[in-house]
C-alpha cells in the first residue's frame, strides 16, 4: 500500500512507519515536529507541516494518491487535558475535521485512526470489549470518542471508511533499539522508570496514587508492545480494502499489571533497586483498564507477539541503554 502517516515522527507513528517499510509498503510522513522527532523517520519521504493547515494537507494529498491515511496527530496527556481542555478539543477534534475535509476534497476514503481505551471511562466489567459503555471521564478521552462518532457519520454520509484502534497502554521499543519512546514531558510509566535507572537515580520516579481499589493500591493497566500496535495498524489497512464503513477494535494483551508490578519487573530486567516517591492520583485516571481484544484477533487475524511485561520492558531498556543519557553504574 501507499500510506500517508500523519504524526508519523512520533513514538507510535515512527514504529508503524518502520514496520510498514520493512514489509514492503510505501510510506510518506507528515508531522509538525512539535512532539515528533525527525531522526526517528530518517530516510523516509517527509513533509513538515500541520494537518490544521488545510492548504498544506490538501497539497500533500493532491500530490500523491494514497491507498490509506493513518492519523496519530493528537495531544495525549490526560492531566493536561483536564487543565487545558480547549487545546485538546481544538487539536484532537478540530484538526481532525480539517484532515477529513482535505481527504474528502481529494478523494481519499480510507483512514486508520489512533483512538484510545480511555473512551470507556471506569470499567463496568473485568475486561473491556468494544460493546462496553462509552463514558470518557476526561477531555482527552472525550476528544477521542468525539472523533469516533464523527467517523461514524462520515462513513454513512460521505462513504469514508475508517478503522478506529482503541489502544490500551502502548509500551516498549523496536528490538533494533534504534527508535523508542521519548516524549517531553514524559508521563508514561515504563519510560519514566527506565529514565530514572538510566540517569543513575538523578531523575526521581513518581508514582501517582496508591489508594486505588486494587490489590496493591496502584492503578492497573494492560500494556501492549508498540510493534504489536504496528502490526494491527497494517492489518487494519488491509481490512479496509475489502470492508467499507466504520469499524472499531480494542488492542491490548488481556492482562493487567499494577504500577508496582511494573516497577518490580523493571528491577528484575535492569538489576537495579528502583526508588520512587508517591503522589496523589492524577485527575481523570481510572483505576483499572484491561482489554478484551478478541474482536481484533478474530476479525483482523491479529495476535500480539509480546505478552509478558518483562519482555516489553526489556525492549525499552535496550533502547534506553543505547542513548547518550545512559549512565552506567
CA–CA dist 22, 2 (Å, integer): 13
Spatial CA neighbour of 113 closest among 128, 97, 131: 97
Question: Which DSSP string do the residues of 217-275 spell out, in sequence order?
Answer: SS-EE-EEEHHHHHHHHHHHHHHHTT--SEEEEEE--S--EEHHHHHHHHHHHH-S---
Instruction: Write down the catalytic residue from 11, 140, 154, 239.
Output: 140
**Which phi and psi angles does 215 have, rounded to 5°?**
-55, -40
Beta bridge partners of 247: 163
| Vertex 270: Cα angle to 264 and 274 (nearest 5) | 50
Q: Is 140 annotated in the active site?
A: yes
Residues serving a catalytic function are 140
Amino acid at each position: 500500500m501507499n500510506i500517508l502517516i500523519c504524526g508519523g515522527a512520533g513514538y507510535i507513528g515512527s514504529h508503524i512507519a518502520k514496520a510498514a517499510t520493512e514489509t514492503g509498503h510505501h510510506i510518506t510522513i507528515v508531522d509538525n515536529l512539535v512532539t515528533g522527532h525527525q531522526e526517528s523517520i530518517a530516510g523516509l519521504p517527509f513533509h513538515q507541516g500541520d494537518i490544521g493547515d488545510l492548504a498544506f494537507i490538501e497539497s500533500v494529498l493532491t500530490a500523491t494518491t494514497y491507498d490509506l491515511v493513518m492519523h496519530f496527530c493528537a495531544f495525549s496527556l490526560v492531566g493536561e487535558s483536564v487543565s487545558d481542555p480547549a487545546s485538546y478539543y481544538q487539536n484532537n477534534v478540530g484538526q481532525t475535521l480539517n484532515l477529513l475535509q482535505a481527504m474528502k476534497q481529494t478523494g481519499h476514503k480510507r483512514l486508520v485512526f489512533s483512538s484510545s481505551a480511555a473512551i470507556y471511562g471506569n470499567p463496568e466489567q473485568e475486561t473491556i470489549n468494544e460493546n462496553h459503555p462509552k463514558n470518557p471521564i476526561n477531555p482527552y478521552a472525550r476528544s477521542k470518542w468525539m472523533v469516533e462518532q464523527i467517523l461514524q457519520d462520515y462513513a454513512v454520509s460521505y462513504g469514508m471508511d475508517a478503522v478506529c484502534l482503541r489502544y490500551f497502554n502502548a509500551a516498549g521499543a523496536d528490538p533494533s533499539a534504534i527508535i523508542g519512546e521519548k516524549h517531553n514531558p514524559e508521563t508514561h510509566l515504563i519510560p519514566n522508570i527506565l529514565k530514572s535507572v538510566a540517569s543513575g537515580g538523578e531523575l526521581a520516579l513518581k508514582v501517582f496514587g496508591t489508594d486505588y481499589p486494587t490489590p496493591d493500591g496502584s492503578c492497573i493497566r494492560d500494556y501492549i508492545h508498540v510493534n504489536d500496535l504496528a502490526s494491527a495498524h497494517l492489518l487494519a489497512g488491509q481490512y479496509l480494502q475489502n470492508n467499507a464503513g466504520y469499524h472499531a477494535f480494542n488492542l491490548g494483551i488481556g492482562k493487567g499489571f499494577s504500577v508496582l508490578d511494573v516497577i518490580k519487573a523493571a528491577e528484575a530486567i535492569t538489576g537495579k533497586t528502583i526508588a520512587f516517591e508517591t503522589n496523589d492520583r492524577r485527575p481523570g485516571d481510572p483505576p483499572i483498564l484491561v482489554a478484551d481484544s478478541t474482536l481484533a484477533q478474530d476479525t483482523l487475524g491479529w495476535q500480539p507477539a509480546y505478552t509478558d511485561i518483562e519482555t516489553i520492558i526489556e525492549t525499552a531498556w535496550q533502547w534506553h541503554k543505547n542513548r547518550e543519557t545512559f549512565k552506567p553504574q
